[in-house]
Amino acid sequence: MDIGGGGIGIAHRAIENSNA
């Protein structure tokens, strides 16, 4: 899921990884 296709996607990925 690339929302914005920029740092937002990466930041969201990091948050999801931390939440996993």
Model confidence band, residue 12 (pLDDT cutoffs 50, 70, 90) = confident
- Overall size of the chain counted in residues: 20
User: Which residues have a Cβ under 8 Å from the Cβ of 9 and sit 6 or more positions away?
Assistant: 1, 2, 3
Model confidence band, residue 17 (pLDDT cutoffs 50, 70, 90) = low
Model confidence band, residue 8 (pLDDT cutoffs 50, 70, 90) = low
What value does the mean pLDDT of the chain take? 66
Burial of 12 (0-12, 13-18, 19+ CB in 10 A): middle
Amino acid in the structure at residue 4: G
pLDDT of residue 5: 59
pLDDT of residue 3: 56
The token pair that represents 15 in the structure block = 């948050």
Burial of 5 (0-12, 13-18, 19+ CB in 10 A): exposed
Residue scoring higher pLDDT (15 or 5): 15
